[in-house]
A and B are shown apart, each in its own frame.
Chain A
Amino acid sequence: MKKKRLIPVLLLKNGWLVQSKGFKEFKNLGNPITAVKRLSKWASDELIYLDISRDDEYDLRRDDLNTPNRHSIFEILDDISKSTFMPITVGGKIKTIQDIHDRLSRGADKIATNTQALIDPSFITAGAKEFGAQCIVISIDAKLIDGKYRVMSHNGSVATDYDAAQWAHQAQELGAGEIFLNSIDNDGQKMGFQIPLVKSVSEAVKIPVIACGGAGEWSDFAEVFDETSADAVAAANVFQHVDQSVHLAKKYLYEHNYPVRPPELLGVEERL
């Protein structure tokens, strides 16, 4: 049986792992590669890696004198793909077919695109034709405005005319393989997911929906699976603060009979 997924999200700003609140406040959490190694050990199902830098400066020098200075997301990707063996989605600054190619060839399995797909929806089709629908994840940042879930572009700063469910459906028709849905209102609030949003989007499409934004308790993940048909739950902040966080969240879901991979810390190794 195919399983529901639990996905840590890593936000990268200028080469650093950061925490986000409402897409506005950011707190530096340190070296993204160390974080990836930690999350990889804890039986995450996939990783989503979002580059939210506003300029192209990457600098990991402060972390450790022994760590070489890295200048681009590609070198960071190189390191990640050597230390983690699960599907990796990379988003941020993807504007062309070449941008997709460059990320896939450095170890990413899928790319997430947001603003570029809104500016030029045919980019979705072009990407899916070239690399397969499973490679193209449409990232949607939604905000509740006048009772409607509006799709926001440019890192949540510009409101578009699209309703989230409507845009998700259109993206699916254009060839998207997956929807990564983020609630700007719930981001960093730790009050649970925006369930009506997740419900409306996951009912509007057949492709998998990854729900993100607002997880504070392990039971918040369970609520998504209870109330919506989302295929995966994702979170950033909550996984960075608690020791063995992904494992504990997985254990919670597994013990409450949700269809997830077993939570053993070392995967199958111990059982076999």
Chain B
Amino acid sequence: MTKPICILDYGSGNVRSVYNMMSLLSQDVVISNKPSDLQAASHLILPGVGAFGSSMEKIKEKIPLDLLEELVVTKKKPFLGICVGMQVLANKGYEFGEHEGLGWIPGETKHLEVNDLPLPHVGWNTVSVKKETPLLPETKEDIHFYFVHSYAFSPTDKKTITGITEYGESFCSMVQKDNIMGVQFHPEKSQQAGQILLKNFISL
């Protein structure tokens, strides 16, 4: 029997959409925050929509963070953060005040600088793959994904940036440090492109 994929449960709004898409790719997917499920999982996914601070509060309240950190940072289980789930990988976030993040990838989550363009940045935009990543195959063409956000993760070590997107400015839309990965867009809403990305993730 294969090990389950665990979507971390802390009351995030898009957990059902992520679950629906993962269920197409694997027979064994759980939405959970139980220590035993985190331990048993082959892959961990942190979904997210909403603000940095309130998400971090809920993550701290619902998810056993010491265990999660041990599994991800020490034992190096494949981890994928989606949208706010990527943003909280930073040390700090500046949405509605200053908040501590998980700090697994050094950097800060800051407001997008877009000049006159409307925010939030909502819609289909392209991701240019800047560095080899197991999540997407190498391609000359940019790939379209669906975005909904006003803030973005800016990693200190630019080598962790695997994908960038243009909206007023260039921002980091994919990040990776070893087994820890994050995507600013929503693969669960990005049709086949998202499906390919998630399939690649669970193939790790």
Residue numbers of A with Cβ under 8 A of B are: 1-3, 5, 40, 43, 45, 81-82, 85-87, 104-107, 109, 131-134, 177-178, 206-208, 231, 261-262, 266-269, 271-272
Contacts and interface: CB of A to CB of B under 8 A. Distances in A.
B104 interface: no
Contacts, number: 86
Contact of A109 (B21, B143, B189): B189
Nearest to B168: A2
7 contacts: A1-B125, A2-B123, A2-B125, A3-B123, A134-B120, A262-B144, A267-B192
A85 B194 contact: yes
A86 B122 CA distance: 13
Given A81-B20, A206-B118, A207-B118, A272 B166 contact: no
Q: Is chain A's interface secondary structure helix, strand, loop, or mixed overall? A: loop
B33 interface: no
A113 B17 CA distance: 22
Interface residues of B, number: 35
B9 interface: no
A44 to B, nearest CB: 9
A24 B139 CA distance: 49
A117 B166 CA distance: 34
Contacts of A109: 17, 148, 189
Contacts of B50: 132
A107 B14 CA distance: 8
Given A1-B166, A2-B167, A207-B118, A268 B196 contact: yes
